[in-house]
Amino acid sequence: MFKPSSFVRCLALGAALVPLSSTAQECKATNAAYEISQDEANQLYNCLAERLAALPENVTGIPGVPDYRDWEVVSTAPLPSATHGSMLVNHIVSPEAAALYKQWEQMSGKKFPPGAILAKESLMIDSDGNTSPGPLFLMEKTAAGTAPDTDDWIYSRIFTDGRIQRTLGPGSANLDFCHDCHAATIDQFDAMFFPPERYRIETSQD
């Protein structure tokens, strides 16, 4: 009998064994990003996992990279993110950020310590259902006074070709829009938006 789960395992195994060009063919979405189920989003993520993990290999000097690959994933599946280019994203938290982030809206008024980092991997789905790794997004809390215009948050966007944009670093102005939006929650949630509730892992708060 055909079992979807073993089919997925086959795809994952195939991804490890075949060249990238044919891997890309296999990681095909059957729904648009907005209609995708959590199961399908997770299958696509697993299918692209190796290529996503390869993304930061040439990136040096950015705190949290490549360490984020060992951190806790706090979303139950990659979720459609209208604010980050209509892609699927998953939310990942550094050990310094985890306890407070997982309080979700209950964190009200508290601040993350310097060194706390939030990461989001992204996957893109084109109109034909073809998928590919997208940029990596990072927010890093720095010591008071380090980045006064962005409430001491340093934003980074790392593209699949290795290009880096970073607050106070290369292409900083291209990231002004990040904090323009994230600042909306600065007082209550220290610039966090959190995944929608149905995409949050269970925590002791729930």
Chain residues binding ligand HEC by CB under 6 A are: 81, 83-84, 89, 91, 118, 120, 137-139, 155, 157, 175, 177-178, 181-182, 192-195
Matching residue, tokens 């940029």: 135
Count of C-beta atoms within a 10 Å radius of residue 201? 13
CB of 21 to ligand HEC, least distance (A): 29
6 vs 174 by CB, closer to ligand HEC? 174
Sorted by sequence, the CB contacts under 8 Å of residue 151 that are 6+ apart come out as: 179, 183, 186, 190, 191
53 vs 38: CA distance, rounded Å? 20
15 vs 134 by CB, closer to ligand HEC? 134
CB of 143 to ligand HEC, least distance (A): 19
48 vs 74 by CB, closer to ligand HEC? 74
41 vs 138 by CB, closer to ligand HEC? 138
HSE, side-chain direction, 13 A CA sphere, residue 202: 1
CB of 57 to ligand HEC, least distance (A): 20
CB of 136 to ligand HEC, least distance (A): 9
123 vs 175 by CB, closer to ligand HEC? 175
Q: What are phi and psi of 153, to 5 degrees?
A: -90, 130
Q: Measuring CA to CA, which residue among 87, 51, 42 is closest to residue 69?
A: 51
CB of 19 to ligand HEC, least distance (A): 31
CB of 90 to ligand HEC, least distance (A): 9
71 vs 194 by CB, closer to ligand HEC? 194
